[in-house]
């Protein structure tokens, strides 16, 4: 780990960051200036990455509706593309259980899971998603990730986790797989519960327990791979296939041909256009979160746009190889960072190690029970269901917890694509609501100080007779100007004795647009016509100061009514009033 802190490496990442901003298409940024001291960490990380990725990618391919070898192809495609175009040394890209149920469920509803059109349509989707991410990267649109709030994101992930668990119940119980709406599938599975194959159930639960216990002991232990290998050995020794246990079957780990998939018809294109945007939105949010959590250099921001471009390139390559969209992976990225990886060479070593294992142990992998993969997918789903984060949100805000629950229910009850779109719109609506109805409060004076404190805590504050101090906690613009105007008039109307002075504490006002300025000027004139003077204190943001002068707000207010502190405004404009 000491190698990661070397001055050479820190200097290299500074230079790489500058180059990334100037020349977006520079390649192999994390491998330039490579130091021999980084190699041991990259070797260890690469081997650990393969141990984690093999069972995960096989299971994700199943979740995506593809043969298991497709998971190996998308892992290689995503890893190689990110090594070429990415600048983050740790970020891992490949098949992802977050987006797999989204596009798999939508495409299955469109053409049928067993249709010959399914795989080409999924490959076309991968190219389309990749194109959106590439454009977002070139347009420096990493800020799009900030449009989804944390509660809604946690709710979406919880909904996806429920989809995964319900979708894997038939394989876990040894029952025929059913297709249709999620809750209907659950009902069918429960009705068929009497025909459960207890060999399948035992295998799936055993793999799940091994993965959970291993993660609890140490996240670096490849519990999923251990469980998968144990299930394969047990199936081979005791011939579980004689008891109706379905096996993975032979892997065709050959290189796929590169080429464009069949272009869908106009109807299919129209149907997958919103799905493309939904999957791309999830990739943007997840890639931004992973990059910011594991930046190239501790304490520095991550070039999210560059990462989006690289993930997009990986998705395009996966589509050209006949596979499905890729995404960044939080757990695999964490493994690379935790085990001493220093560059994207770790990912490339992981690809080589994965290919070696698959070629050498292909007969053993063919004997893996399908129920074992179901157990791994349930393990992944439990990680997506962030119970600890849900509890934190519930303690913080009941309103935001309801956003979380609503987002989850939308994804669970509705078709997953529709639920995702509505959950994203829910997040945007929440942001718009906060802009339109921002928090604002009346302030009281803390005795024997110059501090003014929210009126909600009257134990520590006192009212100055005839004075109202009001603090809007947002920019004043066309979305909220009338709302703030009404709040101010209501606060003045409540004053007892009647207010002869209103002071607007504007430290949180970062901007004032034209509409906000015009409405504020109307508020000032209206109050002064009623005998209440108006002053502004602590307008500290330079942009807001410029807007106030440029729009004529200061002229209407009066330059002598613009103060640096609330206390100064009250003392000068409320002479004779004792402040204590």
The separation between the first and the last C-alpha atoms of the chain, rounded to the nearest angstrom, is 59
pLDDT given for residue 395 in this prediction: 93
Q: 250-253 — which CB contacts under 8 Å span 24+ positions?
A: 250/362, 250/366, 251/68, 251/69, 251/72, 251/358, 251/362, 251/365, 251/366, 252/67, 252/69, 253/69, 253/72, 253/355, 253/358, 253/359, 253/362
pLDDT given for residue 144 in this prediction: 81
Handedness of CA 187, 193, 198, 199 (dihedral sign): negative
Question: Which of 195-209, 369-383, 563-577 bottoms out in mean pLDDT, i.e. has the lowest?
Answer: 563-577
Q: Is the pLDDT of residue 421 over 50?
A: yes
Calculate the average pLDDT of the chain.
Answer: 88
What backbone torsions phi and psi does residue 536 show, to the nearest 5 degrees?
A: -125, 130
pLDDT tens, 67-125?
988 999 999 999 999 999 999 999 999 999 999 999 998 998 888 878 889 999 999 99
Contacts of 477 (CB under 8 A, 6+ apart): 435, 511, 512, 513, 515, 516
CA distance 54 to 376: 11
What is the DSSP track for 404-418? HHHHHHHHHHS-HHH
- Which residues sit opposite 94 in a β-bridge? 327
Domain end marker among 383, 401, 432? 432
% of residues, the chain, pLDDT over 70:
92
Q: What tokens were used for 100? A: 């797999």
Residue 30 lies in a domain: no
pTM of the model: 0.80
Is 390 found in the same domain as 516? Answer: no
Q: What tokens were used for 485? A: 């105007």
CA distance 190 to 163: 15
Q: Is the pLDDT of residue 256 over 70?
A: no
Residue 504 lies in a domain: yes
Is 505 found in the same domain as 356? Answer: no
Question: Three-state SS for 247?
Answer: strand
pLDDT given for residue 358 in this prediction: 83
Residue 3 lies in a domain: no
How many other CB atoms are found less than 10 A from the CB of residue 575? 7
Is 265 found in the same domain as 127? Answer: yes
Q: Is the pLDDT of residue 299 over 50?
A: no
Q: Is the pLDDT of residue 414 over 50?
A: yes
Domain end marker among 408, 432, 456? 432
Is 481 found in the same domain as 411? Answer: no
Residue 27 lies in a domain: no
Q: How many domains does the chain have?
A: 2
Average pLDDT over residues 336-361: 92
Is 384 found in the same domain as 465? Answer: no
pLDDT given for residue 81 in this prediction: 97
Q: Is the pLDDT of residue 189 over 80?
A: yes
* Res. 22 pLDDT band, cuts 50 70 90: very low
CA distance 63 to 378: 11
Q: Is the pLDDT of residue 446 over 80?
A: yes
How many other CB atoms are found less than 10 A from the CB of residue 567? 18
pLDDT given for residue 457 in this prediction: 57
Residue 355 lies in a domain: yes
Is 424 found in the same domain as 306? Answer: yes
Q: Is the pLDDT of residue 5 over 70?
A: no
User: In this structure, what CATH number is given to the domain that contains residue 451?
Assistant: 3.30.750.24
pLDDT tens, 301-332?
567 889 999 999 999 999 999 999 999 999 99
CA distance 403 to 425: 11
pLDDT given for residue 18 in this prediction: 41
Cα 237 vs. chain centroid, distance in angstroms? 43
Residue 147's domain comprises 36-72+79-432
Query: Of all residues in the chain, what percent are helix, strand and coil, respectively (each to 5)?
Result: 65, 5, 30
Domain end marker among 365, 399, 432? 432
Query: Counting Cβ atoms within 10 Å, is residue 439 exposed (0-12), middle (13-18) or buried (19+)?
Result: exposed
What backbone torsions phi and psi does residue 443 show, to the nearest 5 degrees?
A: -110, 145
Q: What tokens were used for 111? A: 């053409």
Is 449 found in the same domain as 414? Answer: no
Question: Three-state SS for 512?
Answer: strand
Is 178 found in the same domain as 201? Answer: yes
533 against 260, higher pLDDT? 533
Cα 280 vs. chain centroid, distance in angstroms? 11
pLDDT given for residue 461 in this prediction: 76
Q: Is the pLDDT of residue 529 over 70?
A: yes
Q: What tokens were used for 433? A: 């609501």
pLDDT tens, 280-296?
999 999 999 898 888 87
pLDDT given for residue 15 in this prediction: 47
Is 264 found in the same domain as 217? Answer: yes
pLDDT tens, 164-175?
999 999 999 999
Whether the CB-CB separation of 206 and 230 falls below 8 Å is answered with yes
Is 200 found in the same domain as 261? Answer: yes
Residue with tokens 């509706």: 65
Whether the CB-CB separation of 334 and 48 falls below 8 Å is answered with no
Is 334 found in the same domain as 252? Answer: yes
* Res. 19 pLDDT band, cuts 50 70 90: very low
* Res. 460 pLDDT band, cuts 50 70 90: low
Q: Is the pLDDT of residue 389 over 80?
A: yes
Question: Three-state SS for 52?
Answer: helix
pLDDT given for residue 21 in this prediction: 43
List C-alpha distances in Å: 517 to 106, 212, 520: 47, 58, 5
Residue 113 lies in a domain: yes
**DSSP tag of 263:** P
Contacts of 72 (CB under 8 A, 6+ apart): 54, 57, 58, 61, 251, 253, 354, 355, 358
pLDDT tens, 193-215?
899 999 999 999 999 999 999 99
Number of H helices, E strands in the chain: 23, 8
CA distance 569 to 580: 15
* Res. 298 pLDDT band, cuts 50 70 90: low
Residue 18 lies in a domain: no
Residue with tokens 């109202």: 468
pLDDT given for residue 23 in this prediction: 47
Residue 578 lies in a domain: no
* Res. 12 pLDDT band, cuts 50 70 90: very low
pLDDT given for residue 351 in this prediction: 96
CA distance 71 to 53: 9
Is 457 found in the same domain as 345? Answer: no
pLDDT given for residue 324 in this prediction: 96
Average pLDDT over residues 510-538: 96
What is the DSSP track for 523-549? HHHHHHHTT-EEEEE----HHHHHHHH
% of residues, the chain, pLDDT over 90:
66
């Amino acid at each position: 780990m000491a190698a990661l802190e070397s001055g050479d490496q820190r200097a290299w990442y500074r230079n790489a960051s500058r180059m990334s901003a100037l020349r977006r298409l520079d390649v192999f940024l994390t491998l330039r200036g490579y130091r021999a001291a980084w190699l041991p960490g990259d070797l260890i990380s690469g081997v650990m990455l393969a141990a984690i990725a093999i069972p995960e990618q096989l299971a994700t391919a199943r979740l995506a509706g593809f043969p298991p070898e497709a998971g190996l192809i998308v892992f290689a495609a995503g890893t190689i593309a990110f090594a070429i175009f990415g600048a983050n040394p740790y970020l891992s890209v490949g098949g992802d259980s977050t987006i797999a149920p989204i596009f798999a469920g939508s495409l299955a509803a469109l053409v049928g899971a067993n249709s010959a059109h399914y795989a080409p349509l999924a490959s076309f989707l991968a190219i389309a998603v990749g194109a959106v991410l590439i454009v977002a990267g070139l347009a420096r649109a990493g800020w799009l990730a900030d449009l989804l709030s944390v509660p809604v994101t946690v709710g979406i992930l919880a909904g996806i986790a429920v989809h995964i668990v319900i979708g894997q119940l038939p394989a876990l119980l040894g029952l025929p797989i059913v297709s249709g709406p999620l809750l209907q599938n659950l009902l069918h599975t429960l009705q068929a519960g009497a025909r459960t194959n207890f060999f399948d159930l035992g295998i799936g639960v055993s793999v799940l327990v091994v993965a959970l216990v291993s993660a609890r002991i140490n996240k670096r232990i490849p519990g999923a791979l251990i469980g998968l290998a144990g299930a394969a050995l047990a199936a081979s020794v005791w011939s579980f296939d004689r008891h109706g246990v379905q096996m993975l079957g032979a892997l065709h780990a050959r290189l796929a041909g590169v080429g464009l998939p069949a272009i869908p018809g106009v109807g299919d294109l129209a149907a997958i256009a919103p799905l493309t945007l939904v999957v791309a939105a999830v990739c943007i949010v997840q890639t931004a979160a992973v990059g910011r959590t594991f930046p190239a250099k501790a304490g520095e921001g991550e070039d999210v746009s560059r990462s989006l471009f690289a993930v997009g390139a990986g998705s395009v390559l996966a589509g050209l190889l006949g596979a499905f969209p890729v995404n960044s992976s939080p757990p695999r990225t964490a493994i690379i960072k935790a085990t001493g990886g220093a560059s994207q060479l770790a990912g490339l070593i992981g690809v080589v190690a994965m290919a070696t294992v698959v070629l050498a142990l292909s007969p053993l992998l063919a004997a893996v029970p399908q129920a074992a993969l179901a157990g791994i997918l349930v393990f992944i789903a439990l990680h997506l269901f962030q119970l600890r984060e849900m509890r934190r949100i519930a303690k913080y805000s009941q309103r935001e917890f309801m956003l979380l629950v609503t987002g989850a229910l939308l994804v669970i009850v509705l078709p997953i694509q529709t639920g995702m779109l509505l959950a994203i719109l829910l997040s945007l609506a929440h942001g718009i609501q906060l802009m339109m109805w921002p928090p604002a409060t009346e302030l009281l004076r803390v005795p024997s100080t110059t501090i003014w404190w929210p009126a909600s805590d009257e134990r520590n504050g006192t009212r100055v007779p005839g004075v109202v101090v009001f603090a809007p906690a947002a920019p004043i613009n066309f979305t909220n100007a009338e709302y703030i105007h009404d709040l101010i008039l209501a606060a003045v109307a409540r004053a007892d004795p009647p207010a002869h002075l209103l002071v607007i504490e504007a430290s949180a006002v970062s901007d004032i647009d034209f509409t906000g300025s015009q409405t504020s000027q109307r508020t000032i004139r209206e109050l002064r016509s009623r005998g209440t003077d108006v002053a502004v204190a602590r307008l500290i943001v330079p942009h807001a100061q410029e807007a106030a002068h440029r729009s004529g707000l200061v002229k209407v207010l009066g330059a002598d009514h613009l103060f640096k502190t609330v206390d100064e405004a009250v003392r000068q404009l409320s002479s004779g009033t004792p402040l204590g």
